[in-house]
């Protein structure tokens, strides 16, 4: 009943969308259909993406940028067209998009290239208490190497960033602020635009970890005015093995190469090299060409549906999930109210370890994640060793939330 009134609100054709994702027809065991609630870890892939990659390998593959034959030209064209699509998706220019292996590598690129040339002993980097290890450990490595100080914006009781504390910490004059736009544990969406403005006023560069955000909402880097942004294909319906770093042209120009090798050079002699232009200077070696093509197809797919519609759908599913789960005795949902979050709902169930919850749910075909979700310090800060996380995407349904709730009732019965 409730589910029906909810779902009618959306301008999203859920039946058609689900039909686009072959894996959603999978049965985990005979008669037990998959209920995939782990999209924050990695999203599933529509046929459009799988087909684009297959078509690339069947008809167009060759190495790019290095030959004049037909296939090489086609492959290069497809690779660069993908870059243009990804750039357009976040309102960037193609030369501002550096392909990496994932969001993690994009952040490491900034730490190693920009960080090593622009930061000196005693400089500060401002992070937050909700960062994924990907946006924490690269800075720890750099801090150790360069003798830097790390500060952390604390969280409020509801799992949002404490913006007053943020202002105070900006007063310490960090050279860089590196923040997630959406927490992969709490679901919190951070008011990143305002923080960019404050950071710039304080003279800091700002890096946005948009690994989560980019799959769920429209992003405009020009409007945000971020200096760097890390994004990841596999979280937004694209293949694994590719991500990107966005950097403002003038910032990227001021950075030395990260990895050396083919493609990133213009000229090489025995003792020195002349680097290539942006963005190739940061793309050493043969890149993930088919993956770029697949990611481009994913961006086309998502854009055709519309990020606004996707975001609205997920927030409403998350709101419904919070409502359903909160009715359960002993269950605590982490993070802020639905209006301030994306499609991630992490929770604890009193007296039952997340691993046991996830294992029992799996026997009903329900895929959730249990653990620290690559945010150990955040869990320690919350006084938890692990949580269970259900995460939603454009193909998630209210019925799946009902299945989750029913599964959790069974978990409670087993431990009763």
Partner 1 sequence: MDDLYRQQIIDRYKHPLKRGMLDPHDITYEDENPLCGDKLRIDLRVSPEGIITEAAFSGDGCAISQASADLLTEYIEGKPLEEVRTLSKEDILDLLGIELSPIRLKCALLSLKVLKAGAYGMKEEKDA
Q: Judged by CB under 6 A, which stretch of 56-64, 97-105, 144-152, 197-205 contacts ligand PLP? A: 97-105
CB of 386 to partner 1, least distance (A): 4
Q: How far apart are CA 332 and CA 76, in angstroms?
A: 51
CB of 383 to partner 1, least distance (A): 12
Select the residue interacting with partner 1 from 45, 175, 369, 379 (CB under 8 A). 379
If one asks whether residue 414 binds partner 1 (CB under 8 A), the answer comes out as yes
Chosen from partner 1, ligand PLP, none, partner binding at 180 (C-beta under 5 to 8 Å by type):
ligand PLP
Contacts 24+ apart (CB under 8 A), 148-153: 148/119, 148/121, 148/122, 148/123, 148/124, 149/122, 149/123, 149/124, 149/125, 150/124, 150/125, 150/126, 151/124, 151/125, 151/126, 151/127, 152/126, 152/127, 152/128, 153/126, 153/127, 153/128, 153/129, 153/179
If one asks whether residue 332 binds partner 1 (CB under 8 A), the answer comes out as no
Q: Which is nearer to ligand PLP, 104 or 324 (CB)?
A: 104
**Binding residues for ligand PLP, total number by CB under 6 A:** 14
Binding mask 157-196 for ligand PLP (x = CB under 6 A): -----------------------x---x------------
Q: Give the active site residues.
A: 374
Spatial contact of 53 and 61, defined as CB atoms under 8 Å apart: no
Task: Please report how many Cα atoms fall inside a 13 Å half-sphere around the Cα of residue 55, on the Cβ side.
Answer: 11
CA 381-387-390 angle, 5° bins: 130
Task: Please report how many Cα atoms fall inside a 13 Å half-sphere around the Cα of residue 50, on the Cβ side.
Answer: 8
Token readout for 107 is 């952040």
Chosen from ligand PLP, partner 1, none, partner binding at 134 (C-beta under 5 to 8 Å by type):
ligand PLP
Q: How many CB atoms lie within 10 A of CB 307?
A: 18
Q: Greatest CA span in the chain, whole angstroms?
A: 73
Q: How far apart are CA 367 and CA 362, in angstroms?
A: 6
The torsion of the CA quartet 120, 122, 126, 132, rounded to 10 degrees, works out to 70
If one asks whether residue 235 binds partner 1 (CB under 8 A), the answer comes out as no
**Any residues with CB less than 8 A from the CB of 351 and at least 6 apart, and which?**
330, 415
CB of 21 to partner 1, least distance (A): 25
Site for ligand PLP in 201-220 (CB under 6 A): 209, 211-212
CB of 367 to partner 1, least distance (A): 13
Chosen from partner 1, ligand PLP, none, partner binding at 102 (C-beta under 5 to 8 Å by type):
ligand PLP
Chosen from ligand PLP, partner 1, none, partner binding at 103 (C-beta under 5 to 8 Å by type):
ligand PLP
Q: Judged by CB under 8 A, which stretch of 121-129, 154-162, 289-297, 359-367 contacts partner 1? A: 359-367
Interacting residues with ligand PLP (CB under 6 A) = 102-104, 132, 134-135, 180, 184, 209, 211-212, 232, 243, 374
Interface residues with partner 1 (CB under 8 A) are: 352-356, 359-360, 362-363, 370-372, 376, 379, 384-386, 414-415
């Amino acid at each position: 009943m409730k589910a029906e009134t909810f779902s009618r609100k959306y301008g999203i054709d859920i039946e058609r969308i689900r039909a686009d994702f072959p894996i959603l027809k999978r049965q985990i065991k005979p008669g037990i259909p998959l209920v995939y609630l782990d999209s924050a870890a990695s999203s599933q892939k529509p046929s459009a993406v799988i087909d684009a990659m297959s078509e690339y390998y069947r008809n167009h593959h060759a190495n790019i940028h290095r030959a004049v034959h037909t296939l090489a030209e086609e492959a290069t064209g497809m690779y660069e067209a993908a870059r243009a699509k990804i750039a357009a998706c976040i309102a960037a220019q193609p030369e501002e998009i550096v392909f990496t292996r994932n969001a993690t590598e994009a952040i490491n690129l900034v730490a190693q290239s920009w960080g090593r040339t622009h930061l000196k002993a005693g400089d500060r980097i401002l992070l937050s208490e909700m960062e994924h290890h990907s946006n924490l450990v690269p800075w720890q490595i750099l801090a150790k190497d360069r003798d830097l100080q790390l500060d952390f914006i604390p969280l409020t009781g509801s799992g949002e960033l404490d913006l007053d504390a943020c202002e105070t910490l900006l007063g310490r004059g960090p050279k860089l602020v590196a923040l997630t736009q959406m927490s992969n544990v709490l679901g919190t969406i951070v008011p990143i635009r305002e923080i960019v403005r404050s950071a710039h006023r304080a003279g800091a560069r700002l890096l946005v970890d948009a690994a989560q955000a980019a799959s769920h909402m429209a992003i405009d880097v020009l409007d945000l005015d971020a200096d760097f942004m890390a994004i990841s294909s596999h979280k937004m319906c694209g293949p694994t093995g590719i991500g990107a770093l966005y950097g403002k042209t003038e910032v990227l120009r001021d950075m030395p190469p990260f990895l050396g090798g083919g493609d990133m050079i213009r000229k090489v002699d025995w003792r020195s090299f002349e680097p290539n232009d942006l963005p190739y200077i940061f793309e050493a070696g043969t890149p993930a060409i088919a993956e770029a093509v697949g990611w481009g197809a994913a961006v086309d797919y998502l854009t055709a549906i519309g990020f606004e519609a996707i975001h609205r759908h997920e927030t409403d599913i998350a709101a419904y999930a919070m409502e359903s789960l909160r009715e359960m005795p002993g269950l605590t949902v982490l993070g802020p109210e639905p209006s301030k979050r994306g499609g991630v709902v992490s929770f604890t169930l009193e007296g039952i370890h997340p691993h046991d919850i996830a294992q029992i749910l799996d026997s009903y075909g329900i895929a959730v994640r249990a653990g620290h979700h690559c945010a150990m310090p955040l869990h320690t800060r919350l006084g938890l060793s692990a949580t269970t996380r259900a995460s939603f995407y454009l193909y998630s349904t209210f019925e799946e939330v009902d299945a989750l709730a029913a599964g959790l009732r069974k978990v409670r019965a087993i431990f009763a």
